[in-house]
A and B are shown apart, each in its own frame.
Chain A
Amino acid sequence: MKSLRSFFFIAIFFHFSNLYAVVSIGGFVLHPGTQKDVDGARNTFSFAPMIGFNTVLPAFWGQLFVPEVGLILNGSEADEYSKNTLFVLFDLGSNLADKIIFRYGLGWFLTKISGNGEIIVGDNGTGYAPNKSITSYNITWNAGLEYAHNNHYAVKLEGYLFQPLSSQQRHLSYSLSLNYYL
């Protein structure tokens, strides 16, 4: 609930801070290198739903400052725990071509895992669901492209490099979203 509150607080701030507010909805692939099937296949295209709010502000050297706050809803299917990811992007944008904006910057990801602490009797032994909410924080390096279809709609594909300086933990997540310019 705390991440939901933070999300709406920042979203409302974005909305009233600038006329060029943007709503984005789409899918987010977190940890695409993880296994999804017994035959060893990966989660390369397993999108989790996301909603985000942008704003567009003029920045230096002809760049745009396009911060975004978003929420990924990726774990409510489980009985034992829920998982939400709140992210705040501090992106800059630059016009690469007529309708294409190159976005890049830093991101702040908050992964929140909550459980009810119940005892879970499994196929082989007993385990325990988390009995509290745990939040893990990550800084990411982002880069992506946004294609403006017309004055109101744009499609954004962006990659997020987690743990960029750690050779073992480094991995790329990505999102595909439709942005609606108000």
Chain B
Amino acid sequence: MFYFCKFFLVLVVIIFTTKIFAFTWITPNGAHFPVAKVTLNVANNNCPNAGVTAAQLLALVHKVPTEFWNKVSTANLQLVKGIVTTASFSSFTDGASSAVLTQAIAQGAANTIIIGCSNKPSTTFSDGFTAAIGGISSATDVRGAVVLNDNDSTFANLTENQKVALLAHEIGHALGLGHSKDPVAVMYYSLGTKIQERLTRDDFDGLTSLYPHKSPGGCGSIAFVDHEKPPWNGLGSLILGAFLAPLLMNLVEKIKRRTTLRHG
């Protein structure tokens, strides 16, 4: 009994050291993509001051799904690695951050996020963002954009891990997430000096709130109207599990029989 009391004491200490969560949405009603697969494309102009070519930027962008947003098992979202596509990010006429985003979003397509750089902002965007901005629009169809500031060398001076983390943050905005109060979260407003190699629980919850897995096994229901059927989730997984269970039981029985023979 003493050991069980000790076990619970340790458990209670661990429980009360949990973190504060605080993700937000970028819009009051939680703007998000209506599909489960969103493609990440890169504009075809190079970014000399930001220190990357379009091809190098694409390679960095391709790391974001596998290292960050595609890891959320409770979210029905899969970011798809796209291509370098024709777009004119260099022709923007207004340098204010909201205007830059609007102009970038206009270059994209439905259910895609376009990422590129522009030299239109002077040193910072009008409201103080230095390296990059990201956002989502659901005006007609849903599309997102990320714009790197090519009049600033902040991005060029980051390590590769920091560049990927910064892109993950901006792509988070393009998926509909706002800033988080959790200083460890990818969606915290500043990268600072922290090591950001993976998402936090707060990021998990934020993405889950916008892209939940709808009810599995809802035969005949209208549960999947606004989302695609979750990949590898739901009824298919249940049926496969039901097939595997008897096999596993058989294996356990065999192990038991062998153990009995050995001891008997």
Contact = CB atoms under 8 A, between A and B. Distances in A.
B120 interface: no
Nearest to A78: B21
Contact of B213 (A102, A119, A138): A138
Contacts of B181: 80, 120, 122-123
A38 B183 contact: yes
Interface stretch (B46-54, B101-109, B150-158, B203-211): B203-211
Contact of A35 (B27, B196, B240): B196
A47 B11 CA distance: 7
B102 to A, nearest CB: 17
Nearest to A176: B11
Contact of B21 (A33, A77, A141): A77
Given A46-B14, A48-B18, A123 B189 contact: yes
Contact of A38 (B195, B199, B216): B195
Nearest to A27: B11
A95 B255 CA distance: 11
A81 B189 contact: no
Contact of B30 (A27, A43, A130): A130
Interface residues of A, number: 78
A144 interface: no
Contacts of B4: 149, 153, 178
B232 A169 contact: yes
Contacts, number: 220
A130 B190 CA distance: 22
B29 interface: yes
B73 interface: yes
Interface in A21-36: 26-27, 30-31, 33-36
Contacts of A83: 21, 205
A168 B245 contact: no
A31 to B, nearest CB: 6
A75 B205 contact: yes
Contacts of B17: 46
Interface string A124-149: 11111111001111110100000001
B21 A81 contact: yes
A136 B75 contact: yes
Given A97-B259, A123-B189, A126-B178, 15 more contacts: A34-B198, A34-B199, A43-B201, A75-B21, A77-B18, A79-B22, A96-B259, A120-B24, A122-B181, A127-B26, A128-B28, A131-B29, A137-B212, A141-B241, A163-B233
